[in-house]
Amino acid sequence: MLMKPTGNLDEVMAELRQEHRTVEAPAHLELILSAETEAKARSIEREPVNRIWAWGLSFALLASIAVVAVEWARHRVHAPEGRQVQAEEHVAPAPDPTLGSKAADTRSPKQAGELTVVRHTHARVVNDDAGRTELNVSNSQEPLASEEASLGDFVALPASEGLPPVSAISLVRMRIEQSALQQYGLEVPAEAAPRTLLAEFVVGEDGLPRAIRIIP
Amino acid sequence: MFERLIGRQRSGEKSDAELHEAALKGSGDAMAALYRRHGGLVYRFTLRMSRDSSIAEEVTQEVFLALLSQLDCFDSQKAALSTWLCGIARRQLWKHLGRFGDAAAAEDDAAEAESTEDSPVTWVLRQEAVATVRDGLDELPLPLKEVIVLCELEEMTYEQAAMVLAVPIGTVRSRLHRAKARLAELLRGNLVNAGGEKKC
């Protein structure tokens, strides 16, 4: 008689189930979960603002990178050109000692269609204490070879009216055919081989060339 | 205080899906209502499986916080919230048991049920049988133990238990059968021993 209620597993399991159901969840977890829920909601509300800041900072960073990249690319593009100009200057031949004065027209260098202007800059002729005439080039980014040269290196063109006032003269550098020097009154031997020279002209305010120098 | 009490009563009338949605919007009362409704199931399951109240509390808290973070995982159309919570609890529990081992001592803090109908001898024998099954339940392998807890103690259907355990229904049935057979065998052996002692 006593064995019957205890021998049935289902009845024992029902007893155990009743015992099991008496266990309740801890009450303090309810408060913790409630607080966590509200805190999480507040953090989600702040998220859009944080996202806008993140996007703004990312955009600013990308813009800065783009500007730096463009400047760097521009620097890379311009740097080889400078070296090329210098190379051309080194290749230029020495002035021909056979050149001499000859009456010629007074066309400006630009009017000689076959000429190529290499560089144009403003310069001033100043007299130092020793009475020498010096040529100062105002464009100091890439100094001309004549920057250190005195005006005495220039050969006055035969038909020119002499050096212009020192207040303002222009210096024009160009690549010119050797035969074209005749247009400026300079004597060129007929047997000279055709070649290109790098020359600098002193040009007055009226735009007429006054003196020339062959750059070696 | 009164408003909070009214809010709880109102939130208690809502469905799990409505409470879940409100909790996602930041309602602490909704989360509290969900916890009151399903916290006991999760805690009992984890406590019975781990035999450690601190692990059970930690896992229960993690399960309900997962309800907030894993927004896309719970679908009220596919499963009941209680089933989904038990599934999360089971996964979290396996992680804890893997981390701490299964060496946690059993904490027998269940209240002793009193019976006024049985005689004292019957009551004592029944309590011995319950203790035997309880101890035998703790000795079962975890896959068999969790089936007993879900299907027998929490009275889940085979389908619900299969969803929680992520196994086919046939597997739930076979595990339950094996678990019950072991417990019945244990119970018979206990009775035999008790009868022998009694004869002596």
Q: Tell which B residues from 9 to 48 touch A, by Cβ distance under 8 Å.
A: 23, 25-32, 35-36, 39-40, 42-44, 47-48
Which pLDDT score, from 0 to 100, does residue A209 have?
A: 84
CB B45 within 8 A of CB B154: yes
Task: Tell me the CA distances in angstroms from B41 to A26, A130, A173, one per residue in order.
Answer: 12, 109, 96
Instruction: Grade residue A63 by pLDDT with cuts at 50, 70 and 90.
Output: very high
* Packing angle of the helix pair B28-50, B81-100 (nearest 10 deg): 50
Residue B177 structure tokens = 């059968």
Q: Does the structure show a pLDDT above 70 at B181?
A: yes
CB B74 within 8 A of CB B106: no
Instruction: Grade residue B70 by pLDDT with cuts at 50, 70 and 90.
Output: low
Which pLDDT score, from 0 to 100, does residue A202 have?
A: 84
Instruction: Grade residue B72 by pLDDT with cuts at 50, 70 and 90.
Output: low
- The CB density around residue A161, as the number of other CB atoms within 10 Å, is 12
Q: Does the structure show a pLDDT above 80 at B63?
A: yes
- Classify residue A208: in a domain, yes or no: yes
- pLDDT tens per residue, range A31-59: 888 888 888 878 777 767 777 888 888 99
Q: Do A23 and B44 touch (CB under 8 A)?
A: yes
- pLDDT tens per residue, range A12-36: 888 889 888 888 889 898 888 888 8
Nearest to A107 by CA among A182, A168, A167, A190: A182
Higher per-residue confidence, A159 vs B96: B96
For residue A142, the enclosing domain spans 100-214
Model-level ipTM above the cut of 0.90: no
Dihedral of CA atoms B120, B126, B132, B137 in degrees, nearest 10, equals: -140
Do A116 and A181 belong to one domain? yes
Q: Do A23 and B36 touch (CB under 8 A)?
A: no
Can you tell me the mean pLDDT for B2-15? 52
Do A126 and A198 belong to one domain? yes
Which pLDDT score, from 0 to 100, does residue B118 have?
A: 60
- Classify residue A111: in a domain, yes or no: yes
d(CA B20, CA A40) in angstroms, rounded, equals 14
Which domains can be identified in chain B, with CATH numbers? 2-100 (1.10.1740.10), 120-199 (1.10.10.10)
The β-bridge relationship of strands A116-127 and A169-177 is: antiparallel
- Classify residue A15: in a domain, yes or no: no
d(CA A214, CA A154) in angstroms, rounded, equals 8
Do A175 and A118 belong to one domain? yes
Do A84 and A129 belong to one domain? no
- pLDDT tens per residue, range B97-111: 775 544 433 333 333
Map tokens 């049988």 to a residue.
B129
- Classify residue A21: in a domain, yes or no: no
Higher per-residue confidence, A94 vs A10: A10
d(CA B75, CA B85) in angstroms, rounded, equals 12
Instruction: Grade residue B162 by pLDDT with cuts at 50, 70 and 90.
Output: very high
Higher per-residue confidence, B59 vs A81: B59
Which pLDDT score, from 0 to 100, does residue A62 have?
A: 93
d(CA B186, CA B132) in angstroms, rounded, equals 7
- pLDDT tens per residue, range A139-153: 434 444 444 455 567
Which of these three, A39, A74, A91, is where a domain ends?
A91
Name B77's Cβ contacts closer than 8 Å, sequence gap at least 6. Answer: none
- The CB density around residue A150, as the number of other CB atoms within 10 Å, is 13
Do A40 and A80 belong to one domain? yes
Map tokens 């529990």 to a residue.
B93
Cross-chain CB nearest to B121 (options A2, A32, A41): A2
Higher per-residue confidence, B46 vs B67: B46
The number of domains in chain A is 2
Q: Do B110 and A19 touch (CB under 8 A)?
A: yes
Q: With b meaning 16 or more CB within 10 Å and e meaning fewer, what string describes B138-173? A: eebeeebbbbbbbbbbbebebebbbbbbeeeeebbe
Average per-residue pLDDT for chain A:
68
Higher per-residue confidence, B130 vs A128: B130
